[in-house]
A and B are shown apart, each in its own frame.
Chain A
């Protein structure tokens, strides 16, 4: 367990995360403006009258965003609410022209209810992190503060884009379940898990650098083994794994110091300073914002039919975590290989397409992909929709499958396979079999020819034979090498080995 040593003893951490992911959709949550707000789009060209909150404009819910929320909910093993509501969360800030954010009320079930994700804890054991809820809400716009000495410039392209806020659950009634995050590393693993699920389901790019994933971090501390939870603080708007880990540790140490010096932690909102890696109070508890949630009179309750949930469930792809487990148990891959081959859905699909129904191919295909193909991304098309240079010879799953089969059927040896692979990289068209024919790459399994080559090598190297017989068995490699050389690399090394051992006794 992760603990921090204080002056008066050891302390443990209790961490809660509110993760915002930007929902992938064409248009915004409540308007028909484009949801593509990337920085190259000129300011305010993708804002509608609804987004700018012009009087009389009414929000109309984007059904695809609802489906995306359900999809993510299913990926989080969560209950989907059949009935949820939208509420106005009031705050006044120029990035939000409405004067309120349409969100889902904090006290009522949002679209996604209780769920969980699994991570590995700091001791390497599987650990379930409970999720309390996930709700749909509007993103705010962007403000530019550096363009003018006395003014801030508001850009509403991002205003109204759908966000899904995923909140972890602190099960205070069953603390013994240990179902919450207790260390900076676990926080990172949890966020990576959320990101992986969101990406593999196509719900969000969940990219912290691009701002499509952000997190608010709640931290409290208590003495190791204490029954009560401590008072938490919230550090807002964290945009990198590294910052999150630094902020958690700094904040925990700050709280421990306060308590050990006889003080009490105040439930404040903190600001993280990226340059110094420290947190400072942004808003004290007394100044906490009063959001005055109330049901949005422009929007009726959101009713979700079982039909829709089941339809989405039926189209859900296998999640990477499930795939990883299957690759290890069914295909016998190592944990490392399984992880590499589930880095993206495209990689997994490529791999499975190459393996096909011949499960014995799995291990060699995994080896080839990880040690060779990953080094040549240009020859390795994962996404057909991406434009590519037509002159490059693309290595397809079927090419690798054929190559691997040729080795297992003793048509070629490993060295020849590598030659064929390099020829493909160099632009040689045709299947591996055709390339092998063209260049005369064929393994010699004709025992007679190998036997005579072996005899020849033994005859020519009398002194080495002597040494071998007197116990220097390591010399076998030398003999194999000589035979391979004599046969122009065409002999089957296994057969050579076998014959040599027979002859040398």
Chain B
């Protein structure tokens, strides 16, 4: 299987990566896809997909509030001062949904 430049650009957009066509070419994505094709051909009938090599069971916590108000710490890295002063993360205006 191989992908057109257009398809690859679409995938890049899906994960919000900006990449030039030139660079895309250099990356030789096709060789990765080829390798994935090989993996796809392995017969895995009856094999339960492994989510993690770790054999632990899922950690759970009790329903207790352990995190208090840490707004100032949270907002420390927020780039927008206007939002920060009001206690918010300010982002460029979005209106859809």
Contacts and interface: CB of A to CB of B under 8 A. Distances in A.
A62 B82 contact: no
A218 interface: no
Given A32-B67, A295-B51, A151 B91 contact: yes
Given A151-B80, A297-B51, A60 B63 contact: no
Contacts of A303: 57-58
Given A27-B64, A151-B83, A152-B92, A45 B69 contact: yes
A312 to B, nearest CB: 14
A151 B58 contact: no
Contacts of B65: 26-27, 32-34
Given A27-B64, A148-B93, A302-B58, 14 more contacts: A42-B71, A44-B88, A45-B69, A48-B70, A63-B62, A65-B63, A143-B91, A148-B83, A151-B92, A152-B91, A153-B88, A236-B97, A237-B97, A295-B49
Contacts of A43: 71, 86-88
Interface residues of A, number: 56
Contact of A26 (B64, B86, B97): B64
A297 B51 CA distance: 7
Interface string A2-40: 000000000000000000000001110001111000000
A85 interface: yes
Interface in B50-97: 51-52, 54, 56-67, 69-71, 73-75, 80, 82-83, 86-97
A92 interface: yes
Nearest to B92: A151
B46 to A, nearest CB: 16
Given A61-B58, A236-B97, A301-B58, A148 B63 contact: no
Q: For chain A, what secondary structure do more than half of its interface residues adopt (helix, strand, loop), or is it mixed?
A: loop
Interface of B: 14-16, 49, 51-52, 54, 56-67, 69-71, 73-75, 80, 82-83, 86-97
Contact of A42 (B57, B63, B87, B92): B87
A145 B95 contact: yes
A52 B74 contact: yes
Interface in A60-103: 60-66, 85, 90, 92-94, 97, 99
Q: Is the interface of B mostly helix, strand, loop or mixed?
A: loop
Given A44-B88, A302-B58, A90 B14 contact: yes
Interface of A: 25-27, 31-34, 42-49, 52, 54, 60-66, 85, 90, 92-94, 97, 99, 143-145, 147-156, 236-237, 282, 290, 292, 295, 297, 299-303
Contacts of B56: 300
A151 B93 contact: yes
B71 A44 contact: yes
Contacts of B89: 44, 94, 97, 153-154, 156
A60 B86 CA distance: 30
B57 A154 contact: no
Given A61-B59, A92-B16, A150-B93, A33 B67 contact: yes
A202 to B, nearest CB: 13
A152 B87 contact: no
Contacts of B88: 43-44, 144, 147, 153-155
B63 A64 contact: yes
Contacts of A44: 71, 74-75, 87-89
Contacts of B73: 49
A145 B57 contact: no
Q: For the complex of A and B, list the 5 residue pairs with the smallest distance between their C-beta atoms, beginning with the closest.
A: A32-B66, A64-B63, A153-B88, A48-B67, A63-B60
A60 B61 contact: yes
B29 to A, nearest CB: 17
B86 A153 contact: yes
A48 B60 CA distance: 17
A154 to B, nearest CB: 4
A63 B61 contact: yes
Contacts of A292: 14
B57 A300 contact: yes
10 contacts: A27-B67, A44-B75, A46-B69, A63-B63, A94-B94, A152-B91, A154-B88, A156-B74, A236-B97, A300-B51
Given A65-B63, A300-B52, A301-B58, A152 B14 contact: no
A31 B70 CA distance: 13
Contacts of A47: 70-71, 74
A151 B95 CA distance: 10
A60 B15 CA distance: 25
